[in-house]
């Protein structure tokens, strides 16, 4: 036992030191996307590439690998969900995946995606796919090589997907999307037609950006984001990143003519941030201090953005606060009007601005396209045409330029292939979770109307956040809700909401 204890201590010390390097890399990446001068890009790519190589070498170091294997054998009699078993299992899983990847590939991929994101941030506002294409071709080639090395059940895409959603498989997701889209298409058709019939306010209202910053910070703090252990900043594509056990950064973006764009982006990222802030800080960098999966992570952001932020009780609380910041623009608005407004349905081109009914269709498109890229069935140069065709087929619209088309998302420039389906999984998880939370907490509508979001946050802390990676995502959801992952709770939730605002019969 004493030998096992000393091996465990050495293993954890090594992992915590490696986590320090990862946090330094995350800090450089956060700075790159918030304030780094454009001309500093090449050197920043070299910095992050060096760090990624050092991290990979530490994660696969022979001495650490031997310790993990020794621990894996010695904890075989432990309960599978004990702290020790979870820690060792998570470290061994990461070790096995990383051992399949050569250092040269890891460093080449890191450099390509840092430069790719920089190129994307320049190309997107110019709608210039041609300048971004060489970067995308390099990234796709490297990610295909990685996928082949990580392939599961003969599927390269599974190898990438499993890195984000452990246990998820391409074939199962393809079946899920087929069934989900079959139900969503008629819902969208009816609700969008009803939305078009409603009187729309065409007068453009200005919401001063500085006031939006203050308002969004107020709302984020009210729902539970801890600003003593986090920040809210701005970037081209909103995201959340954690730089340390008590340092979570969320980033949003604002439009002067659209209050809701920045607000829902902030609610979304705050949902991610509160999950990160709810993980055990003393286990930072270890499996018990890490999120269960990206699908579970997304369930937290979508729950706060949609189940809370697009509810009528939320607006009964929030509108009086919003009027303090925007008295002229919102003077005549009523909670029920804004509730109806934020739940309108209209096929659109921008994923992050999409309504709840059409959102998963955006994800289905990306899921199909990125699988084709990884399987070599679609060349990067043909992506814009494939994108336009898919939008016409799923949503009946086509992008006018690449900025609202293939360049709108940062993910592929960041090498995040296999990531997109976790958004839809997050929507499905969120619907099951809020349904269970409503039954167990009771009177959520009353609490939201009073601005009391702590009972829901504490319920999420207890059932999800503090577990870290103790359970696989599907098992975690089943333990909490008593049901396997299913699209039906989401479809039921969506139909009821759209009926309430008069968009479905």
State the catalytic residues: 269
- Measured CA to CA in angstroms, residue 76 lies from 13, 66, 476 at distances of 22, 16, 22
Both tokens assigned to 311: 């509810």
Among candidates 244, 261, 308, which has minimal Cα distance to 497? 308
Provide the 8-state DSSP code for 241: E
Is the separation of the CB atoms in 105 and 142 below 8 Å? yes
Cβ(162)–Cβ(474) below 8 Å: no
Q: Is 435 exposed, middle or buried (0-12, 13-18, 19+ CB in 10 A)?
A: middle
Q: How far apart are CA 272 and CA 327, in angstroms?
A: 30
Residues 407, 396: Cα–Cα separation, whole Å: 19
* Phi, psi (deg, nearest 5) at residue 151: -50, 140
Cβ atoms of 146 and 160 within 8 Å: the answer is yes
Q: What is the DSSP string of 168-214?
A: --HHHHHHHHHHHHHHHHHHHHHHHHHHHHS----------HHHHHH
Alpha carbon distance, N-terminus to C-terminus of the chain: 66
For 356, phi and psi rounded to 5 degrees? -65, -35
Q: How many helices (DSSP H) and strands (DSSP E) are in the chain? A: 20, 3
State the Cα–Cα distance between residues 177 and 154, nearest whole angstrom: 21
Q: What is the CA radius of gyration of the chain?
A: 23
Angle at which helix 2-32 crosses helix 83-99, to 10 degrees, equals 60
Contact 39, 59 (CB under 8 A): no
- Whether 317 and 451 have beta carbons less than 8 Å apart is answered as yes
Query: Are residues 212 and 262 in contact, defined by beta-carbon separation less than 8 angstroms?
Result: yes
232 sits in which H/E element: strand 230-234
Tokens of 194: 């009803």
Long-range CB pairs of 32-36, under 8 A, 24+ apart, other chains included: 32/114, 32/117, 32/118, 33/117, 33/121, 33/235, 33/236, 33/237, 33/239, 33/251, 34/233, 34/234, 34/235, 34/251
């Amino acid at each position: 036992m004493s030998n096992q204890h000393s091996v465990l201590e050495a293993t954890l010390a090594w992992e915590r030191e490696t986590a320090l390097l990862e946090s330094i890399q995350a800090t450089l990446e956060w700075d790159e996307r918030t304030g780094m001068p454009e001309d500093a890009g090449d050197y920043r790519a070299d910095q992050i590439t060096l760090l990624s190589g050092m991290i990979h070498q530490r994660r696969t170091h022979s001495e650490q690998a031997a310790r993990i294997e020794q621990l894996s054998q010695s904890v075989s009699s432990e309960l599978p969900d004990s702290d020790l078993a979870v820690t060792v299992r998570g470290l061994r899983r990461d070790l096995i995946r990383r051992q399949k990847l050569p250092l040269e590939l890891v460093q080449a991929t890191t450099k390509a995606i840092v430069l790719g994101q920089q190129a994307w941030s320049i190309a997107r506002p110019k709608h210039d796919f041609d300048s971004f294409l060489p970067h995308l071709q390099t990234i796709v080639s490297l990610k295909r090589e990685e996928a082949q090395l990580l392939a599961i059940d003969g599927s390269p895409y599974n190898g990438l997907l499993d890195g984000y959603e452990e246990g998820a498989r391409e074939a199962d997701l393809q079946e899920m999307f087929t069934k989900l889209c079959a139900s969503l298409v008629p819902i969208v058709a009816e609700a969008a037609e009803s939305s078009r019939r409603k009187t729309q306010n065409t007068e453009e209202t200005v919401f001063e950006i500085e006031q939006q910053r203050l308002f969004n910070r107020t709302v984020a703090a009210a729902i539970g984001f801890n600003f003593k252990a986090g920040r809210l900043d701005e970037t081209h594509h909103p995201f959340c990143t954690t730089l340390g056990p008590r340092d979570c950064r969320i980033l949003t973006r604002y439009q002067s003519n659209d209050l809701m764009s920045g607000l829902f982006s902030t609610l979304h990222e705050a949902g991610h941030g509160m999950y990160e802030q709810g993980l055990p800080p003393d286990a930072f960098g270890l499996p018990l201090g890490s999120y269960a999966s990206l699908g579970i992570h997304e369930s937290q952001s979508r729950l706060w953005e949609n189940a809370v932020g697009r509810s009528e009780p939320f607006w009964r609380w929030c509108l009086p606060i919003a009027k303090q910041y925007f008295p002229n623009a919102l003077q005549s608005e009523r909670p029920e009007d804004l509730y109806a407004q934020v739940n309108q349905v209209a096929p659109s081109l921008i994923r992050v601005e999409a309504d709840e009914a059409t959102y998963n269709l955006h994800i289905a498109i990306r899921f199909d396209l990125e699988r084709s890229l990884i399987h070599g069935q679609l060349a990067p140069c043909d992506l814009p045409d494939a994108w336009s065709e898919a939008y016409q087929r799923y949503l009946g619209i086509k992008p006018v330029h690449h900025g609202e088309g293939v360049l709108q998302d940062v993910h592929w420039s960041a090498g995040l292939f296999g990531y997109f389906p976790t958004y839809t999984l997050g929507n499905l998880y969120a619907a099951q979770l809020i349904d269970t939370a409503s039954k167990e907490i009771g009177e959520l509508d009353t609490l939201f109307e009073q601005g009391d979001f702590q009972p829901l946050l504490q319920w999420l802390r207890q059932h999800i956040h503090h577990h870290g990676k103790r359970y696989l995502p599907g098992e975690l959801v089943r333990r909490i809700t008593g049901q396997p992952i299913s699209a039906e709770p989401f479809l039921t939730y969506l139909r009821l909401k759209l009926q309430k605002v008069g968009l479905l019969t």
